[in-house]
Structure 1
Amino acid sequence: MHRPGAGRRRTRRLDGDARQLILNAAEKLFAAQGFDATPTAAIAAGADVPKGLVFYYFPTKDAILSALMAERVPADPIDDIESVVAPGDPAKSLVNLDAALNLRDNHSSVLRVIMWREADTHPDVRKQLRRMRDQLLDVTARVLQASAPGPVQPGTLRACAAAWVSAMFAIASTDRLHALDGVPMPTGDEIFNVAQVVAAGMTHLG
């Protein structure tokens, strides 16, 4: 039996949840098939909402991607560097930092796939990628400084941090190529070897 007000309650619930349902569906579809190959109708179907409601929240498909970048990329890459710093061992500290950031296996496909795939053609994605890179450079330099066995020149710290972040970004891109084309993933030993090279650079350049 139809209960008075049941339809209104369902509509209010749907309206309250719809924005997140749309973003969830878009994230899943953009990761699976790319932004350009995903029609708005597919996002509406994936969210199980009317197509008009998608446009109510997001006037364009680009607005959906911008919202994903703004809301599902962490504001800060890591809260506390003390949890990753191994005193006197920069290489181990970098490996710990990599594990804490978890860019390759992150639960969010925005970080794991979408950002790397769409950066070439979408300004908002590039903006977020640059912001994340700047934050990672800062936190990596702080981790290196805190774990260094002796004083290191600021220029050396910045250069070594840039080398590490560039390597991690390249590895994150390899993860996407692995998913798409079966390109072999770097092993834990290979990542540690990169960390050792960066740590050695601190010694030789410092």
Structure 2
Amino acid sequence: MIDFLTKIMPNVVENWSGDNGILLGIGQTLYMTFWTTLIGGILGLILGIALVVTEKKGILANAVVYSILDKIVNIFRSIPFVILLAVAFPLTQLLVHTTIGPKGALVPLILGSAPFYARQVQNTLVQVDSGVIESAEALGYGPWTIVFSVYLREGLPDLIRTSVLTIISIIGLTAMAGAVGAGGLGYIAISKGYQRYQNDIIWVCTLLILVIVFIVQGLGDLWARKVDHS
């Protein structure tokens, strides 16, 4: 089997393990995806909820706060990620003391994904039946109770699907960050595949990224269906 793989994918076999190997690239991609999803997801969820409750018809309507948050989201969503990588260098250096490698990519990844997720959360939660919210207010529920017991509970299935979409987007961003030295499968595909004309490495890295995406999509769909039927 090893001889067969060596024959059809010699560069993949040679670069599978060791420093800057494909196996390490898989770990780096998962590392960036996990921490960006966790931190960016929390920030995006908080920001998305804040947008919903402070909008004109929200339970904590506040035009000034909503306007500020809305503009912040729009600005960061409008910046191309490659440019954001460069713009965030000073902040990245300040927070994690490096601008290269998987750790150095976390700050721009979070800055790029959190506003995107916030807008998705907002679009999901505004679809919650207003009648249910009005009933909760009539029963004397406070804002936080309404957020957790009504908004998040009623919108959970769609929120899961939105989260899956965001995670898949993050995986794509890690590959893009790899192109500028952040590590991961994107870095290996560019530095060892594209630049050295080793096409088998490009194809395998692409396939591995697709496998990660399919796993995330499958688990997300399964969870969303389970919540829908509960």
Q: TM-score, normalised by structure 2?
A: 0.32
Q: Which has the higher helix share?
A: 2
TM-score by length of 1: 0.35
Q: Which has the higher contact order (CA 8 A, sep 6+)?
A: 2
